[in-house]
Structure 1
């Protein structure tokens, strides 16, 4: 028995470590777009959209605003697909299990990297489906990896936020490709290597994941992987099914067990609606910043290529810190697990209480980030990069962790996918904002930045809503104890 427990513990540790590497190196590479754009411009992608124009002093200059706009559109569509198709990914994960979801995600990711590898300036249009496939495949890898937190009950939120932080940090992969490109390695070779790495993802799927879903809390003697017998799998499948009616504890101590919320009740709840608004407005600010980073640096550096490259490198390297920042949010969410719960308070209620501070800090960082990003000061952008990666780590890690504690886990995949899909529709405003800056505001983003910063103030309503919800639950508990 001790040997079996040791083997299971080693398998859980190996699942956690390899999942962290997978999220860190592959899942969210789309968001290193600013670094890849630098390489794509060198490779003359959409170069035919550059036109000769007359400068201020009458000299002839090359106007590549059309090229920038087309590359920005590639990122807009890919980031939209990254979020919008998450709802389908969530349903696939919840209904068909881990193996089907992962193999589908690996397939998308591999096709996307191969399309980039075999594209060129004459086939620039391939970037549209390629980056979208990479984005969709990456988010499916993240969704299937986040369930690993269920293997570590007391550190569940910390693991979930850590994986989301690794997802953010994976955007630094494109800076590595940029550096390799500058040292003489072709763009094709880099993306072919990424395609070959899909073999590792497939091996993890069969050796280090269950066919279905890792339940929470874990049943006794839970095991997974190829060593799990068919009989054991069938027993665990029955345990998982039975948990769908017992997973959520009632808030009132010694109260009769109540039926958990349906998906419809979850979606129509005030908590979910405000959470959608919270994620959408903050995410829009990040997408606007990433999508317009290259043109913004071109303007602030007066088109100096070496300075643009320097700041893009700085931005990409700060993305590596996402994996270090995200666990702080998880520790905030899990802090109630290190001490006894107050009398009559359920673990879910304590988790919701802990989430209030996390949501407030994320909203505050988003406001500071938006103000700094709006300031037309080149040197200030170093601080903007730091606060951006910190805020983004808190945003996505906090989003997943909040959904896992506020709603029944049997709906996690569907709710996660739905909220990402809704926020994706909202994020389409980024392209409208960029088009407005270019056409109506003549390249001056000041008014758009002020408007987006004011909209971010809506994010502060969500932590207040959760706080009032927890107060209401505490009041109900006190009344029931008096009776």
Structure 2
């Protein structure tokens, strides 16, 4: 079906491209707050909080610290709700699927843009619900797009990190609105245009996204979205947990019906695991650092430039431009996470263990970047802030892309929405600290953030605990892996037999048997309990069963025997059974 395959490839490519545009242009717009604040100040939002004060030399000075604090509060609440309500969004996504979750997110986002469009300096408080709705609707776009990585197999983590990088870069949307405002485009016109773009999101929801979920691994000929006419693909059945099982997949079962199936962790087990707790700590300390930096960027630059508006605008523009690079930085993290794909795995190592091992470097580099970024932000030297902006966007793209990728690797996919939402919600509770931190700087610290920045830099060192824990886990599990014969590697049968039994095997050539030759029959014979030389990697708890060819001898010394390890699946279908 060449035409059908081409159609599937085109649809998947279009899904990826439009998802990238959606994340890049809409999803994370709220994090461009620093650019929007500049516009809102010129429009007079919260200007009633500016008061005249007497300066040192007796001159009247306009003190707008109250206005800055109110803008900071708007962002604090929006960023908190962005994370905290991700829990609700994740449960909604896992329970009702993609279509319902996306339509809900589109409604929230459109309501938020409408509220900003019809707000004014007299109704400045509309910014509180408006920015919150924009944040929650935007994160729903991201959650539903992350699954698109499942369409691309070996590039799954790369796609996930690209989308998260695009989410970061979408903060440049408010920078574009700022530039348009400077050439005469009103704030209302810009946000009404964003509202009209919701029709594009609705179209994509029905035609380029699944009704429920995109499974992983992806079944052959998997299709999704509304299509014209009947699909020639195999029909798929989507289970309640979001997994898809085609009729063809039902053949891929262990021949040993008594072999225990691998049990996935329950949601509660995932929640109480060491990985989840340390990952939450890893995310929380770095996220707090980023949110405090964004929320206090305007007053920080005003302090470093002595309140020169043109210079502040110049640095705000530079910061906004660097945010565009988030989508360019994110694939680097994806390549780190996917670097092992297509390479042979260590003996006995599962795909999940290999994926988990690949996350160690990503987690470590993310923590290291955060320390460098925090150190640069601490030094009160204006030109150095260009480097701070670069490190901030690099670290932010690694942080949120790595967060989603780690959860998708370390935990069962059917819990992804709930776990992703919960980790974001709990980290949001931690980020509430940013508002008292701002008050601390403006009060007891007399406007000098140096001591706070030093404390945050020291706090960010806690992020190194997580990659160390994952590394130690991978090293420990490497010595406990069971002996697994990969279906993609042809192993010398005498070598395999010696590893299993400690005795020699007479055949010296590889045995490659088409599955069809087994005739669908199997015969188990008793084999003695053994402790092979590689017992530390494989210790059989039960007598080893064997499969015999029709009419063949099933004695262990026979050259026609095929060794099958208990409780592991026999690969059936177009593949060959290899020993």
TM more than 0.5:
yes
Q: What's the CA shift for 1:315?
A: 0.1
Greater mean alpha carbon deviation, residues 342-351 or residues 127-136 = 342-351
Partner of 1:289: 293
Partner of 1:395: 399
Partner of 2:529: none
Partner of 1:368: 372
Q: Which runs of 5+ in 1 are unaligned?
A: 250-254
Are the equivalent residues in 2 in contact too, given 1:16–1:148 (CA < 8 A)?
A: yes
What CA distance in whole angstroms lies between the structure 1 residues aligned with 2:196 and 2:294? 28
Are the equivalent residues in 2 in contact too, given 1:219–1:239 (CA < 8 A)?
A: no
Partner of 2:35: 35
CA RMSD of aligned residues (A): 1.8
Partner of 2:263: 259
Q: What's the CA shift for 1:342?
A: 1.5
Where do 1:191-202 residues align within 5 Å? 191-202=191-202
Q: What's the CA shift for 1:309?
A: 0.2
What CA distance in whole angstroms lies between the structure 1 residues aligned with 2:234 and 2:35? 45
Q: 1:348 aligns with which of 341, 346, 352?
A: 352
Partner of 2:223: 223
Q: What's the CA shift for 1:232?
A: 7.6
Are the equivalent residues in 1 in contact too, given 2:76–2:432 (CA < 8 A)?
A: yes
**SS at structure 2 position matched to 1:362:** helix
Number of matched pairs? 475
Matched, 1:270 2:274: yes
Greater mean alpha carbon deviation, residues 159-168 or residues 342-351 = 342-351
Partner of 2:413: 409
**SS at structure 1 position matched to 2:419:** helix
Q: What's the CA shift for 1:221?
A: 2.0
What CA distance in whole angstroms lies between the structure 1 residues aligned with 2:55 and 2:150? 60
Deviations 1:289-323 (A, max 9, x none): 00000000000000000000000000000000000
Partner of 2:65: 65
Deviations 1:337-380 (A, max 9, x none): 03111121111101111100000000000000001011101000
TM-score, normalization: structure 1?
Answer: 0.96
Partner of 1:132: 132
What CA distance in whole angstroms lies between the structure 2 residues aligned with 1:243 and 1:404? 17
Matched, 1:208 2:208: yes
Partner of 1:252: none
Q: Mark the structure with the bigger radius of gyration.
A: 2
Partner of 1:237: 238
Are the equivalent residues in 1 in contact too, given 2:216–2:243 (CA < 8 A)?
A: no
Q: What's the CA shift for 1:230?
A: 9.9
Greater mean alpha carbon deviation, residues 383-392 or residues 470-479 = 470-479
Q: What's the CA shift for 1:27?
A: 0.1
**SS at structure 2 position matched to 1:53:** strand
**SS at structure 1 position matched to 2:537:** helix
What CA distance in whole angstroms lies between the structure 2 residues aligned with 1:314 and 1:51? 30
Q: What's the CA shift for 1:234?
A: 7.1
Deviations 1:128-175 (A, max 9, x none): 000000000000000001100000010000000000000000000111
Q: Which runs of 5+ in 2 are unaligned?
A: 254-258, 483-534, 540-579
Partner of 2:537: 481
Deviations 1:430-462 (A, max 9, x none): 001001111111101111111111110100000
Where do 1:74-473 residues align within 5 Å? 74-227=74-227, 235-238=236-239, 256-473=260-477
What CA distance in whole angstroms lies between the structure 1 residues aligned with 2:181 and 2:100? 35
Q: Relative contact order (alpha carbons < 8 A, sep ≥ 6): 1 or 2 greater? A: 1
TM-score, normalization: structure 2?
Answer: 0.80
**SS at structure 1 position matched to 2:480:** helix
Partner of 2:570: none
Are the equivalent residues in 2 in contact too, given 1:356–1:466 (CA < 8 A)?
A: yes
What CA distance in whole angstroms lies between the structure 1 residues aligned with 2:164 and 2:40? 27
Q: 1:397 to 1:382 in 2, by over 3 A?
A: same
